[in-house]
Amino acid sequence: MTVQIGNIEVGGSELVIIAGPCVIESRNHSLKMATLLKEIMLGEEIPFIFKTSFDKANRTSVDSFRGPGLEEGLDILSEIKDTTGAPILTDIHSPDQAELVAKVADVLQIPAFLCRQTDLLLAAGETGKCVNVKKGQFIAPQDLTNIVKKIESTGNSNILLTERGTSFGYNNLVADMRAIHVMKESGHPVVFDATHSAQMPGVLGDSTGGNREIIPTLAKAAVAAGCDAVFMEVHDDVVNAKSDAATQWPLDQAVGLVSVLKNIFQLVRK
């Protein structure tokens, strides 16, 4: 099964890249990142969906930056969509947000820790928009079956499933590439989240750390294993990023990585 998002087909003959900064840090920064990423993907002839969050509701510390919130965030996302023409993916955190966010976003994302929340899944499905479910770090890939059924019960089969690593011991995640094969048996396209899979949650005490250097290895392995799209958080100043600074991928290295991923995808699909 393929999923159509605007003029982009996920699960078809081309690798799709879902990329953008973790959170909306400012209107100007988000517009800049969306424009530059769109230019990169056009140059590489890679279908592109822009992602960012208006609210990071699951920060480690109560003092962590969360974003501009729903109203201002949707206004910024709408401007990005009008300016770049790129489809938009963003998170929702409660059922009441689904209908509002669906007026702007092309893909409603269910955060990993909320992936089993029935009311949230149903509200997202009822919008008719594509729903991207991040597999919780606490569930096995085969357990997504019931999550998919919840969304499909609304009559919506436009579903993406994203692997983002599984909790393993303390402050660590492990990305099991077998999960991609298992999740594809659902009949829905599978996305691999290359940057969140490199996280080490809570390892810095009041914030999440991670290993940025492992991101290319994970992304290349996932494409070789058969994923249909790669999700990655990208920033032009990773050291000073206001969220997930340890695992956002540098903008100036994005071309090299996505080019390699495209080549691997083409080789595997042949």
Our separate counts of H helices and E strands in the chain read 8, 15
> Tell me, what DSSP letter sits at residue 62?
T
pLDDT tens string 124-180: 999 999 999 999 999 999 999 999 999 999 999 999 999 999 998 888 899 999 999
- For the chain, percent of residues with pLDDT exceeding 70: 99
50 touches 32 (CB < 8 A): no
pLDDT tens string 197-246: 999 887 677 777 889 999 999 999 999 999 999 999 999 999 999 999 99
The answer on pLDDT for 44 being more than 90 is yes
pLDDT tens string 86-100: 999 999 999 999 999
**Residue 16 phi/psi, 5° resolution?**
-105, 135
If you average pLDDT over residues 5-17, what whole number do you get?
97
**Domains of the chain and CATH, by start:** 3-269 (3.20.20.70)
